[in-house]
Chain A
């Protein structure tokens, strides 16, 4: 039995090594270029920056930098797209396909990228590394940014992301945002704060402020331990169990504008 197990593990190791050696570099195509963008291919040894053109193929170990009012859209074979935004420097560390699975490693020195990953064609091991944190895509799409004074930030659009720094990690769901402190070292956003951000976003932040029905709803139904919540509690204390109402009683679900006729 012991020999059988040892043999099994040796066979498994050989299989894993052989499958690793079969990993082939995937094809990265530049879909579009806007403004000024340059590339540096580390593997060719020339160490010169050249302009990027739409339609050209990029290889691993390529560094891309963009200027003001610029962006580059990259297509990673059949596995997704990455938009390199303005004033960004990003490196393609690895993009390899082994059977159905794909392993991608991107490095972000500064700026922001939007990643959109297609996981329907097979397993993806997709990571974006910043100086202070590593973001891995478990789902579909989201934005990753790193700046010298803002640290690393990730905002999920669809699917889940994982943000890891040191031994700590956070799962980021759609519309949630997580960040690290500039120096990293475990300074991830607390889970409760991620939840609060997600909750606050429903209050009209993305649309430039609160609408009147939303304000009514918040005054009437409270938002927890905030200023409006305190108003509500104070009103309850003063007038018994009847909260002060601003508008019609049909504003139960007015966040999102569906419950009020105004």
Chain B
């Protein structure tokens, strides 16, 4: 009987600690803000000068690719909008200030552009690793491991190719990455 009481107490304590400690499940720093009213030319210019791109900025970039603008005020709203549209999966952990990795960026761009994937992607569904490989093959993104961060210039180059792909259905040879054919 005492064991049952002990287990119940521990369970209640864990739930209480979980509720008190987490702001939003899976999202760290959900209230992080970016400059309001920023248009895409200014956003691209600002990000191009950065060494790395935060997840918050990357989400804004994905929304601008989709809608041409980002009206969401805080990081949590961006994540929720992208989740509802299927651009990012629910299982990811989101951190506003953490640099976006190649794998996460590739996943988002793959979903935004609806790029036709290969056999593995068709069988398993999109994953960071294979979205990255598909986009590398198509000349969207330069070679590198999925867990490495993306620089500002590289990020806007990928967005530029994605934007062109959305408009024309292809990435012109002149805009592809250095090592793609």
Interface residues of A (CB under 8 A from B): 35-38, 49, 65-70, 85-89, 109-112, 143-145, 147-151, 153-155, 177, 179, 181-182, 205
Q: Which of B42, B43, B157 contacts A150 (CB 8 A)?
A: B157
Q: Which of A35, A148, A205 contacts B157 (CB 8 A)?
A: A148
Q: Does more than half of chain B's interface fall in helix, strand or loop, or is it mixed?
A: helix
A residues near B166, Cβ cutoff 8 Å: 69
CB distance from A94 to the nearest CB of B (A): 22
A residues near B157, Cβ cutoff 8 Å: 110, 147-150
Which one of B25-33, B83-91, B172-180 contacts A?
A: B172-180
A residues near B167, Cβ cutoff 8 Å: 69, 86
How many residues of chain B get a CB closer than 8 Å to chain A's CBs? 33
B residues near A179, Cβ cutoff 8 Å: 178
Interface residues of B (CB under 8 A from A): 39-45, 48, 64-65, 68, 141-142, 151-154, 156-160, 163-164, 166-167, 172-178
Nearest B-chain residue to A49, judged by Cβ: B42
Contact between B45 and A65 (Cβ–Cβ < 8 Å)?
A: yes
Contact between B178 and A69 (Cβ–Cβ < 8 Å)?
A: no
Contact between A87 and B44 (Cβ–Cβ < 8 Å)?
A: yes
Give CA–CA (A241, B127) in the complex, Å.
51
A residues near B176, Cβ cutoff 8 Å: 150
Q: Which of B40, B142, B154, B158 contacts A70 (CB 8 A)?
A: B40
Q: Given the interface contacts A86-B163, A112-B175, does A148 sit within 8 Å of B44 by beta carbon?
A: no
Contact between B44 and A65 (Cβ–Cβ < 8 Å)?
A: yes
Q: How many A-B residue pairs have CB under 8 A?
A: 107
Contact between A68 and B65 (Cβ–Cβ < 8 Å)?
A: yes
Q: Which of B39, B48, B153 contacts A67 (CB 8 A)?
A: B39
Contact between B48 and A110 (Cβ–Cβ < 8 Å)?
A: yes
Contact between A155 and B174 (Cβ–Cβ < 8 Å)?
A: yes
9 interchain residue pairs of minimum CB distance: A148-B153, A67-B40, A147-B157, A149-B142, A87-B160, A67-B41, A65-B41, A68-B163, A149-B154
Give CA–CA (A35, B69) in the complex, Å.
11
Nearest A-chain residue to B139, judged by Cβ: A150
Nearest A-chain residue to B176, judged by Cβ: A150
B residues near A87, Cβ cutoff 8 Å: 40, 44, 156, 159-160, 163
Contact between B151 and A148 (Cβ–Cβ < 8 Å)?
A: yes
B residues near A85, Cβ cutoff 8 Å: 164
Q: Which of B43, B142, B156, B174 contacts A110 (CB 8 A)?
A: B156
Nearest A-chain residue to B39, judged by Cβ: A36
